A and B are shown apart, each in its own frame.
Chain A
Amino acid sequence: MSNLKLRDREAQREREREMAGRVVLHGMWASPYSMSVKLGLKVKGVEYEYVEEDLMNKSEVLLRLNPVHKKIPVLVHNGKPIAESLVIVEYIEETWKEGPPLLPQDPYERAKVRFWAGFLQRQLFEAMFSVVITDGEAQARAVKEGHEKLAVLEEGIKGGYPGGSPFISGGNLGLLDIVVCSILGAHKVHEEVLGVTYLDSEKYPRVTSWVKSLTELPLVKEAMPPNEKLVDFFQFFRARALESAAA
């Protein structure tokens, strides 16, 4: 079948999916942002279809669904696209009220979750991402920054969650647990590929035990990509980034 016909078929299928009021997640298997949305849907028990997007060769569909950022994840529900992972997870929380809550009830507790989720996704993740794509002095600086952010997180849990963490005290996998999984769940991959150990149980006992208990959960184990696959991906991604930086 010609590429044109294939593309038309795909576009038609997409239109049909949208109109049926179904839930479609456009994501990328190695992306922590995509993982956050996937986990949110799974916790709520929402039936959804998944479309793996090729970020090296962005589809017409993706560009139409997210013209502003041209990024995944995008959730399409009732034909309407929603972008930005934390925005999507809050949408999931507010739309599927019958499932387990992803956020606490109390406004202050909710503010804490939002604050730390934002901190993890921006401050911590940016440093960790930098470590993947740099070497030499720049990488050493990024590693240092990653540890600084982890130290802040450790203090934050100590002060904000005297019981240990939102998960341990509430018993429910919530938005903040989801974000932690998405960013620190693959810490072993960072160790193997980059030689960086983020989860130092002496320096960050609370963060370490939180991540370890989360990654033992069947729902999380099932959702996370296998470590070997991520190792390959990280190596490829890093090599390509260093190559283009040197060019």
Chain B
Amino acid sequence: MAKLKIIVSPTSFFCTRIEWALKLKGLEYELTFEDWSKGKSELLLRSNPAHKKVPVLLDDGVVIAESKVILEYIDEKWKGGDLYPLLPQDPYERAQARFWAQFADDKCFIGTWGACRAEDAQEKEKAVEAALESFTFLEKQIKGKKFFAGDKIGYLDLVAGWISHWLGVLEEAGGLKILDAERFPSLHEWAQNFAEIPPIKECLPPRDMLVNYWTALLSRLRSSAPSKL
């Protein structure tokens, strides 16, 4: 049987969350790395013409794009018996997990990234405030729980997982602070517990590689901005 393949970029946490899911399910897979210096590969453009983005899952001839869609696919295809469940069973809990996953990506990540990109001091301050507001909502969700999914990690933990390792890098590269332990004690503790779980820890890219990547990306975006005439 053909092996599971994921087209990935080594720094993208959208890709790492797929690896985490496959490891939790006990599935073997191969990684195909995109080399951005060479432009987007033929394989990627063919596999994901709609978005031209990673990750893309190749499963025995079938192609799936969009990380949250891939996570649900993995959970639905490999389920039952001893297989690790990613989403809860109850429809209302599933709705909550999906809602907060969307929120974590759209508000927490995009908010943080927007704040990193802001160069004007006032703009940056406003963007950080907005991001902090979003993180406050997330803090409420994890309060009193070990993981978002309960005693063990699940879908929402995987989607919010970037906070446990990539956020610190973004803070450094972007010159800002979001995850303050005093302001967000539960989220801070969750992040530390999450990153220690063996299948999670195994897939974390080296921090210095991430720092180099994000720092270079931000400076490239800054230097190119005014010349967009």
The answer to whether A and B come from one shared complex is: yes
Binding site for B on A (CB under 8 A): 68, 77-78, 80, 82-84, 87-88, 90-91, 94-95, 107-108, 110-111, 114-115, 118-119, 123, 152, 155-156
- What is the chain B residue whose CB lies nearest that of A96? B91
Pick the residue among A90, A118, A156 that contacts B66 (CB under 8 A). Answer: A118
Report chain A residues within 8 Å CB of B102: 84, 87
16 contacts between A and B (CB under 8 A): A80-B92, A83-B99, A84-B98, A84-B99, A87-B95, A87-B99, A91-B92, A107-B73, A107-B76, A107-B77, A108-B62, A108-B77, A110-B76, A111-B70, A152-B50, A156-B50
Contact B50 A111 (CB under 8 A): no
Pick the residue among A82, A115, A119, A156 that contacts B95 (CB under 8 A). Answer: A82
A156 to B137, CA, bound (A): 36
Pick the residue among B49, B51, B69 that contacts A111 (CB under 8 A). Answer: B69
Pick the residue among A82, A118, A155 that contacts B49 (CB under 8 A). Answer: A155
- What is the chain A residue whose CB lies nearest that of B102? A84
Count residues of B near A (Cβ-Cβ below 8 Å).
Answer: 23
Contact A87 B98 (CB under 8 A): yes
Pick the residue among B62, B98, B103 that contacts A90 (CB under 8 A). Answer: B98
Report chain A residues within 8 Å CB of B91: 91, 94-95
Binding site for A on B (CB under 8 A): 49-51, 59, 62, 64-66, 69-70, 72-73, 76-77, 91-92, 94-95, 98-99, 102-103, 137
With contacts A82-B99, A83-B99, A114-B72 taken as known, whether A152 is within 8 angstroms of B62 at the C-beta atoms is no
Most chain B CB neighbours (cut-off 10 Å) among A111, A123, A156:
A111
Contact A90 B99 (CB under 8 A): no
